[in-house]
Amino acid sequence: MIKNSSNKKVIPLKRQPLVLIIFSSISFLLILIRLIFLQLLNYESFKKMSDENRIRLIASQPIRGRILDKNGYVLADSRVKYSLIIKPQSLKERYWEKHKSTISDLLNIDQNLIQKKYFDGLRNQKLAVNIIDDLNVEQLIKFKENEDNLFSFEIATKLIRNYPYKSLAAHVIGYTQPITDSEYKFLSKKGYKLNDLIGRTGIEYVYEDFIRGEWGGEMVEVNSLGKFQRSLGVKPSRQGEDIELTIDINLQLVAEEVLKDKKAGAIIVMDPRDGAIRAMASKPTFDLNFFSKDFKPEKEYNNLFNSPEKPLFNRALNAYDPGSVWKIVTALAGLESGKFPIDTMLETKPCITYGSQCFREHNDLGFGIIGYEDALRVSSNTFFYQVGYGVGVDEIHKVSKKLGFNSLSGIEISEQENIGLVASSKWAKEGRGWGQPGRTPWVPEDIASMSIGQFVVQVTPIQLARAYAAIANGGYLVNPHLAKKDDEKLSDKKLIKIDIDPTHIRLIKDGLRKVVESGTGVSINYGVSNLPPVSGKTGTAEDGEGGLDHAWFVCFTPSEKSELLVVAFAQNTPGGGSVHALPMAREIIKVWNENN
């Protein structure tokens, strides 16, 4: 062992080469492992990072697909907004002054503005800089005539969603908005760009994947300093697919028109044979083009989002007290239970007491001894009180389920839909949705209210459309739909045979025919001629939330082999279904009949 002058131990000379070899081997091994990691295991990842550092994409926005009515009328498309851009890095500075003067004179633009944007682009190494936003037609034509001599200047397009008919079918079509920063984190994996448009409601939302298209753009190569080197090619954007709806613009226009003098309400026009929606309108409504504005005035924003009238709310899919249009359900419950067969005759009275309340006949007199058809014709309350009380709540609930109540209808825009409420004894025992289980039992007053569609029954216009369509078509529950069925990728709708005796459905259908021939719906033919036979039911319902009465009318035509069904609803419009709702349906049938 050798000692140094400070008496410290040192490594023997014979062992020093060995230590050096071990150290060198370990270092080499670590470098080799790192190289294997970089070159073999993570080759693709680092290659991608390298490409991203030298390749840039100047994105090209896709054209969003159109939304069309059944006859090809455009309900939604995209308007092109033209902007003048410059690629500052691809233009040599010695040519700049000449190009600046030319573009300034040609398009009547301040040279100082062009100069500022050009040098700002150079300083920040931007590949493209916007010079003018939203060129007018004259500027666009002048540029196109001279673009061969304007190197590095280009026309860029920005697509804005456009709704030619403004508020027409607004709740059906829906609207688009730019995606948010939080959405971009996961939507970027699906090809979305920051501030890209995405459907928020309606058809725009439901068929987003079909309508949106695919981004394209120009691939350009830059050097390590981010300066433009060359173009690597252009990938065209892919236009989105058009969506053709079952909506008939002629019926949609009249549906919107008949609601104009109503405070609020809804219209549904449907083909009872297959559930194709021909019109769906909700009042109040809104202009879809509001959402395409770059700047949204505060007053317009508040009128839309903070208004107590709730214009964004689709009343065609919201639940309300149905009143007498519900009586077909009580009638079918009596027939199907066997307790009140087809030949049943009941004495109607001025009022009948259930629990602590006497429930009145709407004429305060009664209609004598009548059967099902006449009970529907005159819309007798006391007839249906007796049937409803006789069969019980759960029998009514069971039949209502077969007719599609208390569940979603199957329509594509289900994000707007309410399933409503049809009471049952189980629902009452469980607390009625607001109380404690076992503390809110079923009481006699409930069944009387339920029998004529009040308070413990809340249904949507679309649910009523399905139920009445089953009567019109002879016993098939249809799935309402807005997209044309012949395109399999959009919808696959099938008819469902309901488990109700066809003779009972026939009896209800005959009763609804009598309503229009000589009952509460007789005014459907007033002031018009040559209408095909119509069957239907009027309804006046107390508002369970304390507002004014609702007015209803549901009908189908022709009475046999029906092709059209209308649900007309006037919210908080007292006076009766025959006064306020029936005339709306009449106008729709009149236009349909004229067009046919």
- By residue range, what is the domain housing residue 192? 57-244
The H or E element spanning position 203 is helix 202-206
Say yes or no: 420 and 407 in one domain: yes
Whether residue 416 is contained in a domain is answered as yes
What is the number of domains present in the chain? 2
Closest alpha carbon to 539 in 320, 325, 319, 267 = 325
Q: Which of 482, 73, 65 is nearest to 249 (CA)?
A: 73
Residue 136 maps to which CATH number? 3.90.1310.10
Same domain? For 218 and 287 the reply is no
Same domain, 343 and 366: yes
Q: Are residues 254 and 122 in the same domain?
A: no
Q: Are residues 329 and 398 in the same domain?
A: yes
430 and 384 fall within a common domain: yes
Write down which residue in 206, 229, 244 finishes a domain.
244
User: Does 353 share its domain with 491?
Assistant: yes
Helix axes 327-337, 502-518, angle to 10 degrees: 140
Point out the domain boundary residue: 244, 269, 293: 244
In this prediction, residues 322-345 reach a mean pLDDT of 98
Using 50, 70 and 90 to split pLDDT, how confident is the model at 125? confident
For residue 283, is it within any domain?
Answer: yes
Q: What is the pLDDT of residues 506-528, one digit of tens each?
A: 999 999 999 999 999 999 989 88
Whether residues 290 and 421 share a domain: the answer is: yes
Query: pLDDT tens digits for 352-398?
Result: 999 999 999 999 999 999 999 999 999 999 999 999 999 999 999 99
Q: Is the pTM for the entire model greater than 0.75? A: yes
Predicted local confidence at residue 108, as pLDDT:
84
Same domain, 378 and 452: yes
Are 206 and 88 members of one domain? yes
For the segment 173-186, the average pLDDT, to the nearest whole number, is: 91
pLDDT at 440: 87
Of 244, 270, 289, the last residue of a domain is 244
Question: Within this chain, do residues 452 and 488 fall inside the same structural domain, yes or no?
Answer: yes
Q: Say how many Å lie between the first and final Cα of the chain, rounded.
A: 116
Q: Is residue 71 part of a domain?
A: yes
CATH code at position 395: 3.40.710.10
| Interatomic CA distance for residues 441 and 423, integer angstroms | 12
pLDDT in tens, 11-27: 555 566 776 777 777 87
- Whether residue 211 lies inside any domain: the answer is yes
Does 183 map to a domain?
Answer: yes
Judged by phi (left if over 0) then psi (alpha if -120 to 50, else beta), residue 114 lies in alpha
